[in-house]
Amino acid sequence: MSRILGDLTRRRTLTYREVGATRTPDALPAGFHHLRHSAAVGHGPAAFRAAAEAVTTWRMHRAGGARVRASAGRAAPGVTLEVALGIGPLALGVPCRVIWVPEEEHRAGFAYGTLTGHPECGEEAFLVELEPGGTVRFTVTAFSRPAAWYTRLAGPLVPRLQLAYARRLGRVLTRIAAAG
């Protein structure tokens, strides 16, 4: 299944020019809706390791209610994935490609960009950091705009749903980090 998914999404292209812009959250591109959500999800190295593992292996998304099919078991640049939310025939699967992955001792996560066929256009980063005082912080940074008629029609509802999902992921990661 992963090979088939990789073949299907590899043929798709990124739908935006500002690739990698979530690396600089204070300078997100104009013309997009910006999302920034940050939450403390734990404390200490064990919580950081558990949260980092959950983010980079898709566990956080799955525990948050999404179905994830990916061309690899861990986030790495070029990995393609489809994230689906919803139930049965009402599930909406969206194709993405991992754009960047930080390689730092106290920072882990990834950013993915939208591929053709995604109802939005843009990029989203999911990062976990171990701060100097020991706090484990989860941050979602995104820029997006509608790419399909139904997301344009939904107007301001889409950004609110994106924020609600980011908050849900923060709560899920708090539980995972506490068990770690």
**pLDDT tens, the chain, 180 aa long:** 445 454 555 578 999 999 999 999 899 999 999 999 999 999 999 999 999 999 999 999 999 999 999 999 999 999 999 998 877 777 788 999 999 999 899 999 999 999 999 999 999 999 999 999 999 999 999 999 999 999 889 988 999 999 999 999 999 999 999 987
Q: Rounded distance, CA 134 to CA 51, Å?
A: 13
Question: What local confidence, expressed as pLDDT, does residue 10 receive?
Answer: 59
- Give CA torsion, residues 10, 90, 125, 96, to 10 deg: 10
Question: What local confidence, expressed as pLDDT, does residue 85 receive?
Answer: 81
Taking the mean position of all CA atoms in its chain, how far away is CA 180?
21
Q: Where are the domains of the chain?
A: 32-66+98-179
**Domain 32-66+98-179: which topology?**
Alpha-D-Glucose-1,6-Bisphosphate; Chain A, domain 4 (3.30.530)
Burial class (CB in 10 A: 0-12, 13-18, 19+), 109: buried
Question: What local confidence, expressed as pLDDT, does residue 4 receive?
Answer: 43
Tokens representing 160 are 């609110």
- Whether the Cβ atoms of residue 175 and residue 46 lie closer than 8 Å to each other: no
